[in-house]
A and B are shown apart, each in its own frame.
Chain A
Amino acid sequence: MSVRSTLPRSDVSAQGGAPPFGSVGMQDGATQGLASRTAEIAALDADLSARRAQVAQRRRLIIYALRLAFTVLWLGSWELSTRLNWVDPFFVGQPSGVVQRLWTWITEGTALGPLWLQAVVTMQEAVVGFLIGAALGVVFGILLGRIEVMAEVLSPFIKGANAIPRVVLGSLFAVMFGLSLWGKAATAVVLVFFVVFFNAFQGVREVDRNLIANARILGADNRRLTTEIIIPSAMTWILASLHISFGLAIVGAVVGELFGATAGLGQLIYNAGHTFDVNGVFAGMFVLAVLALIAEGLISALENRLVKWRPSRVSGEIPI
């Protein structure tokens, strides 16, 4: 009589009835066929993965072709409608004009000096602001996440500061720091700080209680708990915020330049706008976009290095 059959149905009897696999001996014939079967399966696998690679390759080509078609349609319709004078190129610009403007900037320099110098100035402001803002955000996020009293005391101030449309602080910083790099960097700092701070704070709060308990049982002191459990766990959140916040650092630098600057892409765009040079505005935007995309790529590379313990991206997922 089996034990299980005498029991009423309940969660107790439903669990853990192991089949007696230990007592069933392997048939001798079964091992012989095993080698040839393994080879057969390996061949099937290889075939399947080759076919899958082919399909993926074709799909990639189609996507690129569609992207090209979209670009042609977009720029072509813009160019055409201005050529045919359906809309006035004076107000909306013209792709060919933008390319021309970029070319003069590259070959002859801009009104403010060489183009690369404007890019360097703006990127310097953005990067300095980004680094300071992100570092402060991470440090304060972790501190407030770990020390509850601090979070309770400071939370109304932080919420209040976050409610201000912070770009207006750019005018304040222009007064404080004059035309130097620091005014623009400071604007970038206030934009970056809050995004990183809130993510770091949340990341610390969301650490799995089980992991903390496990580390404490294993003998981790508070310092180890922070460096080995809390920070790595919050890193996913922090890195996600860095993606958004580098874009914000560029916004900060460009807005800062509007409040007073002698060089930089923001200043260049501002000047172009003032002289009714719409193509110049678009050209400046284009350069900014390229730089932002490069920075984004660098941050993604950093992310992949730092969180290599995470399961890799599902192949079907579309990276945007």
Chain B
Amino acid sequence: MAGAAIELRSVTKRFATPKGGVYTAIRDLTMEVAPGEFCAVVGPTGCGKSTTLALISGLERASAGEVLVAGEAVRGIPQGIGYVFQSDAVFPWKTVLGNVAAGPRYHGVSNWDASKQAKEWIARVGLAGFEDRYPHQLSGGMRKRVGLAQSLINNPRILLMDEPFSALDVQTRTLMENELLSLWAASSASVVFVTHDLEEAIALADRVVVMTAGPGTVKGTFAVDLPRPRNVAEIRFQPRFVQIYEAIWSQLRDEVLVSYERQKHAAAV
């Protein structure tokens, strides 16, 4: 398809293991994400979801196949990429302001303008008044907001999110999911949202991609035709949500079982 924001064509990624073996994280993966689309990727533990993001972001290079962002092959980190990490990746020695202002400063914006922009973004994610705090003085949810503002301030065309809310408690998580949706609605970014939580995937995304147990490849894609704007806290109770859930789960379940069996064997060895 011409004009896709992200395209992966038969991508394989192998890693060398410390023992000298080869570990195939993803195998022959083909998927694409349209401009402005919110695409969720679900799959069992260890199926290469994070690796997929690393390939799109240019942090890792594909062993075979092609990765294209905005029609261009990825070499190094492409322009206009944002990445929200699973664990805390905010800089502990920078204040909230310093953290959020980092992106523009790295792109050559003057300190003055960078902090002006940063203050706007800090307010937008609901942290006004916390500019001078250090990350260790914030709660997990607040640190996640800092991470979001830090990525979004660069105005990314593509936002990659690696289980960003998995470490949060359920209430905070629902709030953050709603905030993410409204921030995304105000932008034109494509989102690739990796999660192992199917409910989260359906509640947020336009399309859900199911991956197989590792080495991961695409098992199926499902359009989520729930109307927007959505309220994540309530959407789970709509009958259509349940239908979609059941359809996707019937595919995902087998992969989860395969992955689970493997883990049991690995533990037994």
* Nearest-neighbor residue (CB-CB) of B95 within chain A: A309
Residue pairs across A and B with CB atoms within 8 Å: the count is: 117
By the criterion CB–CB under 8 Å, are B93 and A217 in contact? no
Partner of B82, one of A208, A213, A217: A217
Given A11-B45, A15-B166, A233-B93, decide whether A217 and B81 contact each other with a Cβ distance below 8 A.
Answer: yes
Q: Which residues of A contact B136 (CB under 8 A)?
A: 309-311
In chain A, positions 1-40 with a C-beta closer than 8 Å to chain B are: 1, 3, 6-8, 10-12, 15-23
By the criterion CB–CB under 8 Å, are B170 and A224 in contact? no
Q: Compute how far the CA of A218 lies from the CA of B171 in the bound complex, rounded to whole angstroms.
A: 29
- Which of B12-20, B99-107, B119-127, B182-190 touches A? B99-107
Q: Compute how far the CA of A8 lies from the CA of B250 in the bound complex, rounded to whole angstroms.
A: 11
A175 an interface residue at 8 Å Cβ cutoff?
no
Which range contains the number of A residues in contact with the other chain? 35 or more
A27 to chain B, nearest CB (A): 19
Residue tally, chain B, CB below 8 Å to A: 52
By the criterion CB–CB under 8 Å, are A16 and B197 in contact? yes
By the criterion CB–CB under 8 Å, are A218 and B150 in contact? yes
By the criterion CB–CB under 8 Å, are A23 and B170 in contact? no
A274 to chain B, nearest CB (A): 51
B223 an interface residue at 8 Å Cβ cutoff?
no
Q: Which residues of A contact B59 (CB under 8 A)?
A: 213, 216-217
By the criterion CB–CB under 8 Å, are A216 and B77 in contact? yes
User: Which residues of A line the B interface, CB within 8 A?
Assistant: 1, 3, 6-8, 10-12, 15-23, 208, 210-211, 213-221, 224, 228-229, 232-233, 235, 307-311
A-B contacts besides A217-B59, A217-B77, A309-B94, 20 pairs, CB < 8 Å? A1-B242, A3-B199, A10-B253, A11-B256, A15-B166, A15-B197, A18-B171, A21-B171, A22-B231, A22-B233, A208-B89, A210-B88, A213-B59, A215-B106, A216-B77, A217-B151, A219-B107, A229-B91, A232-B93, A310-B92
User: Which residues of B line the A interface, CB within 8 A?
Assistant: 45, 57, 59, 77, 81-83, 85, 87-95, 102-103, 106-107, 134-136, 150-151, 154, 166, 170-171, 173-174, 196-200, 231-234, 236-237, 241-242, 245-246, 249, 252-253, 256, 260
**Contact sample, A vs B, 10 pairs, CB 8 Å cutoff:** A12-B198, A15-B166, A18-B174, A210-B88, A213-B59, A217-B83, A217-B151, A218-B103, A233-B93, A310-B136
